[in-house]
Amino acid sequence: MTERREAETEGASCRVFTFKDPRSPQESLSVCIPEVLDPQYGMYVWPSAVVLAQYVWFHREQLRGRAVLELGAGVSLPGVVAARCGADVILSDDANKPACLENCRRSCAANGLQDVSVRGLSWGEVSPDLLLLPRRDVVLGSDVFYDPEDFEDVLVTFVCLLRKNPEAQFWTTYQVRSADWSMEALLHRWGLSCVPVPLADFDADQSELAGSALPGSHSIQMMIVSRRTAD
């Protein structure tokens, strides 16, 4: 069971995640994520978020000083870990769900992150907010591929970000909920390619991560999406 602490915010309790590194036992990072008991998707940490946060932690040297955007961030565990590791982070969630945007802000406050900005970005909407975003190097998205109806919209949002930085990468984790789902055709349509990342490569092939049993027996996968280059 993950450690829980009373959060200052009414109605939220705080789940604590502690990331360690067997390669460097003196280093660790604890973050506190306020969660609200609510049926909406963006109010608590999803298992895929712990896996993506572990990837971020494992690659923290590479992320220091890099420009990061989290899409569909909800309570924002991966983005908070990236910010605590020294990345310049913007968090985003659906522009039409103020409660989810408030969660992003609450997670920042709980971790003393004053420089992280929160934006309403709805997938697939080429809004002024999306077009005005500064150049990003890495886009994070945990469990944003859960409804096939949204897959193309999520990818289109990433493609818009590629205009400012064609080398940007989309680091994403998802739960395998149906063997029938495939993104191959959409990736091809939008000039993208993807590389699966085995969980064992970043010590995430465990049912318990960062002191949390959330990953459990869920089938979670990680991939990196980027602009397709000539073969």
Binding residues for ligand SAM (CB under 6 A): 41-42, 45-46, 48-49, 72-75, 93-94, 97, 100, 122-123, 142-144, 146, 150
Q: Which residue is nearest to ligand SAM (CB)?
A: 42
Q: How many CA atoms lie within 13 A of 135 on its CB side?
A: 9
- Here the tokens at position 231 are 């073969």
- Here the tokens at position 99 are 């409660």
In this complex, which beta carbon is closest to ligand SAM, that of residue 46 or of residue 229?
Answer: 46
Three-state secondary-structure class, residue 111: coil
Residue 178, φ and ψ in degrees, nearest 5 = -155, 135
In this complex, which beta carbon is closest to ligand SAM, that of residue 27 or of residue 208?
Answer: 208
From the CB of 160, what's the least distance to ligand SAM, in Å?
Answer: 13
From the CB of 102, what's the least distance to ligand SAM, in Å?
Answer: 11
> Across the chain, how many H-helices and E-strands are there?
7, 10
In this complex, which beta carbon is closest to ligand SAM, that of residue 37 or of residue 230?
Answer: 37
In this complex, which beta carbon is closest to ligand SAM, that of residue 88 or of residue 93?
Answer: 93
Check: CB of residue 49 under 8 Å from CB of residue 222. Answer: no
